[in-house]
Amino acid sequence: MTKTKTDTETKTETKQKKLQTNFDYDAIIIGTGPGGEGAAMKLAKENKKVAMIERHHQVGGGCTHWGTIPSKALRHSVRRMIEFNSNPLFNPSEKKVKLTFENILQHTTKVIRDQVRMRAGFYDRNYVDVFHGSATFVDKNTLKITSEDGAEEFLTADNIVIASGSRPYRPDDVDFNHPRVYDSDTILSLKHDPKSIIIYGAGVIGCEYASIFRGLGCKVDLIDTRDRLLSFMDAEMTDSLSYHFWNCGIVIRHDEEYESIVASDDSVVLTLQSGKKMKADCILFANGRSGNTNTLAIENTGLLPNSRGSLEINNQYKTAVDNIYAVGDVIGYPSLASAAYDQGRIAAGYMLKLPTQAQLIEDIPTGIYTIPEMSSVGKTEQQLTAAKIPYEVGRSSFKHLARAQIGNSAIGSLKILFHRETKEILGIHCFGENAAEIIHIGQAIMQQKNGGNTIEYFVETTFNYPTMAEAFRVAALNGLNRLF
């Protein structure tokens, strides 16, 4: 016998459905880094009611406060000091300018302050509500925000974007509470002036900080758990970086794993599994990162992060729960601030149900802010060789460019990889000062359609002279001369 619903039951269900769609916000975004900002701005411009949740006192996320912005600001200060000391025009005496880590943090602090002010203004002008506190899921539409004083507030939304970023990986057997043991977040709290430092992990962060500390005059031991630096980059470029590190006194130890890290009042001793031991004033542990999902009570939505705290998403940045999206470092690769912002915008477009098939561009540029810089877009020689694609190489050396000679930045080179038959540009790789800027000239041509992407463009166009952009013309001529 089929049971018929009473009028009261039907009215109750209708009321519940109505309540379920009566959310506080169209979207709530957890995290105010690049991914969260990209999503928030796109939604706000479409007149959606948006809330941001930031667990720290100021907006900007790890990118602004501990990651991308601080490390690049530190690098800039060190690079300017090196430039001044090496230029006899400005420093004719033997006495060199000496800065400490605490000195260069002053410029970094100002940059962070300016970035926070600017980004807070974005949210204010676009009527995005910002809540400061820790977010935890109650269910897939409800979040609890717990402020620092313990006060709790509940917010609901039709859609939720997880843009909570990542944090440095911290193994349990390393005492990160010790004042001489740092990770890439806490290194900005360094107060003493170390004469030596061990950097464990030779990824992007490890290599960048190796440059910074060596530029300050520190003895640097860089421990690489792999067989070569930055193996995802073109081998010729990373070989150039390795040589430059060796030439400036950085000791690199490849294929090593730590056995123990023991810190005392005045030093740190690192013992490697190979039996090697080394001692330094402090250690920077920079070996991987984990997605910030551990404090979100995400299990209340049915989502399950992987072992590194990352979330799986589809091509619309939607998780396994239909109204929850994830962007930025919390989804893993490519873990770039530039890509995170675009991911946020793309996810917002799908949330808005706009007629879009938007995806990240295939060739995402990579910038490594060592001293000198490295930058890359497209395929490497190793990838093209493995795929049996007939390519040729065009090279230019910075030391032959008038602009590099004028600017006393002759270290570096540009390499263009192109198809032997079609002349299509397949990859561009640059090592040297301002490499991350220079690479975008080539990237713009690579994005051209209908036959516009050929190496011949660089020969047929006219560049300002003298400029670093001229490296593309020199490399293009060099490559075309190799054809027969």
Per-residue pLDDT at 16: 44
Tens of pLDDT, residue by residue over 54-98, are 999 999 999 999 999 999 999 999 999 998 888 777 766 667 888
Burial class (CB in 10 A: 0-12, 13-18, 19+), 286: buried
212 shares its domain with 104: no
The answer to the question of residue 357 being in a domain is no
For residue 274, the tally of other CB atoms under 10 A from its CB is 11
Is it the case that residue 17 has pLDDT exceeding 80? no
Residue 113 structural domain:
10-168+291-351
Q: Check the CA dihedral 111-114-117-122 and report its sign.
A: negative
We report the CATH number of the domain holding residue 191 as 3.50.50.60
19 shares its domain with 71: yes
- Chosen domain end from 266, 287, 308: 287
Is it the case that residue 436 has pLDDT exceeding 90? yes
Tens of pLDDT, residue by residue over 389-433, are 999 999 999 999 999 999 888 999 999 999 999 999 999 999 999
218 shares its domain with 342: no
The answer to the question of residue 456 being in a domain is yes
- Chosen domain end from 287, 315, 342: 287
280 shares its domain with 299: no
Phi (first) and psi of residue 424, to 5 degrees: -65, 135
Distance from C-alpha of 321 to C-alpha of 171, rounded to nearest angstrom? 30
Per-residue pLDDT at 2: 41
Axis crossing angle, helix 235-248 with helix 204-215, rounded to the nearest 10: 30
- In the structure, what pLDDT confidence band is assigned to residue 217 with cuts at 50, 70 and 90? very high
Mean pLDDT, the chain, as a whole number?
93
The answer to the question of residue 318 being in a domain is yes
The answer to the question of residue 422 being in a domain is yes
Distance from C-alpha of 50 to C-alpha of 142, rounded to nearest angstrom? 14
440 shares its domain with 469: yes
We report the CATH number of the domain holding residue 387 as 3.30.390.30
Over range 346-375, report the average pLDDT: 92
Tens of pLDDT, residue by residue over 162-200, are 999 999 999 999 999 999 999 999 999 998 899 999 999
For residues 3 and 264, which has the higher predicted lDDT (pLDDT)? 264
The total number of structural domains in the chain stands at 3
What percent of the chain has a predicted confidence (pLDDT) above 90?
87
Measured CA distances, 246 to 22, 208, 220, 371 (Å) = 62, 15, 11, 13
Phi (first) and psi of residue 378, to 5 degrees: 90, -160
Tens of pLDDT, residue by residue over 282-307, are 999 999 999 999 999 999 999 999 99
Over range 315-340, report the average pLDDT: 96
The answer to the question of residue 119 being in a domain is yes
- In the structure, what pLDDT confidence band is assigned to residue 14 with cuts at 50, 70 and 90? very low
For residues 139 and 20, which has the higher predicted lDDT (pLDDT)? 139
18 shares its domain with 86: yes
> Do the beta carbons of residue 430 and residue 469 sit within 8 Å?
no
195 shares its domain with 158: no
- Chosen domain end from 257, 287, 317: 287
384 shares its domain with 276: no
The answer to the question of residue 201 being in a domain is yes
282 shares its domain with 330: no
389 shares its domain with 423: yes
430 shares its domain with 295: no
The answer to the question of residue 190 being in a domain is yes
- In the structure, what pLDDT confidence band is assigned to residue 450 with cuts at 50, 70 and 90? confident
151 shares its domain with 98: yes
The answer to the question of residue 42 being in a domain is yes
- Token match 């979330």: residue? 311
Q: What is the DSSP letter of 259?
A: E
